Amino acid sequence: MDDLARSFSSAFQTIKITLCYDGTPFVGWQRQANGVSVQGLLEDALGRFAGEPIPVIGAGRTDAGVHALGQVASARVPDRPDLDVVLPRALNAMLPEEVRVLRVEVLPAGFNARYAAREKTYRYRIVNSDLMPPFERFYAWHVTGPLDPDLMRSSASALVGTHDFAAFQGAGSGVATTRRAITRSSLEARVALPGAGPGSCLLEYEVTGDGFLRHMVRTIVGTLVEIGSGRWAPDRMMRVLESRDRRQAGPTAPAHGLFLVSVQY
């Protein structure tokens, strides 16, 4: 059966899979020639369940080391009763413990996790302290030297709206447009992290938008840290945005602080 025929066969169901993963050991979401990918693991597990190859489509391609609390994938699988109950158990039994399927929903044919996504929410975690707590080493960026959360917060909120984010786009992506609508861009600071010494602070940046360019969240965060450290003036964020020039923005923050929190449909 070819792909098109299979897509509309009544012997198949379209499913939406919500999953979380610790990105530390993976080459990222996307299947690659070398290394273990989350997509590859999920496709292999679905293939074993179905007895035939099952391609999956992810809502967002997370890079190596990036985590997900609520990644979403879609697939077409052979129809069986109670897929929403049977499939999460079967998949979790086959997947390594770094990946957990939270939910499987049966949706109308044609649902595509990537194209149907209305908005995505990402979180970026920064530990601002002299010492990096060992428990955070794979889940936050360690920034030493004081950061001013208020300066970062106002710069973050300036990004809300529809803008051309070309200045925050990593090299090597060929998207048609670099305009994106950001509906939320906020920063929370929590003090006194266990194991981080006195004066430590956990900064959590959350951003929601209709789409994100390659490395966009990490480049926003890299710019926020430049501003929070006082090295750059607070109005620099808007000037970077207006420049549409990647060289004006801050460094790309490391992947392991980033979490794909949820995908809205």
Positions marked active-site? 63
For the bound state, the minimum distance from the C-beta of residue 4 to a copy of itself, rounded and expressed in Å, comes to: 35
Site for a copy of itself in 150-179 (CB under 8 A): none
- DSSP letter for 167, please: G
**Contact string (CB under 8 A) for a copy of itself, positions 20-59, x = contact:** xxx-------------------------------------
Nearest distance, CB of residue 222 and a copy of itself, angstroms: 21
- Token pair, residue 146, equals 């004081």
Report the Cα 260 to chain-centroid distance in Å: 3
User: Which residues 201-260 are close enough to bind a copy of itself by CB under 8 A?
Assistant: none
Closer to a copy of itself by Cβ: residue 21 or 165: 21
Instruction: Please report whether residue 65 would count as binding a copy of itself according to CB under 8 A.
Output: no
Among positions 5, 10, 97, 108, the unique one binding a copy of itself when judged by CB under 8 A: 97
| Residue of 122, 168, 123, 127 whose CA lies nearest to 147 | 127
Least distance (Å) between residue 193 CB and a copy of itself = 11
Element (H, E) at 43: helix 38-50
Report the nearest approach of a copy of itself to the CB of residue 99 (Å).
7
Residues 6 or more apart in contact with residue 194 via CB below 8 angstroms: 133
- Among positions 57, 106, 131, 160, the unique one binding a copy of itself when judged by CB under 8 A: 131
Q: Which two tokens stand for residue 148?
A: 């001013």
Which single residue is written with the structure tokens 């004081």?
146
For residue 133, state whether it binds a copy of itself (rule: CB under 8 A): yes
Contact residues for 18 (Cβ-Cβ < 8 A; gap 6+): 70, 71, 72, 101, 102, 103, 104, 105
Give the residue carrying structure tokens 């990222």: 28
Answer whether 191's CB lies under 8 Å from 201's CB.
Answer: yes
Q: Nearest 5°: CA angle at 24, between 256 and 149?
A: 20
117 binds a copy of itself (CB under 8 A): no
Under the binding rule (CB under 8 A), the answer on residue 99 touching a copy of itself is: yes
Q: How far is the CB of 98 from a copy of itself (least distance, A)?
A: 5
Query: Which residues contact a copy of itself (rule: CB under 8 A)?
Result: 20-22, 67, 69, 92, 97-100, 102-103, 131-135, 137, 139, 194-195, 197
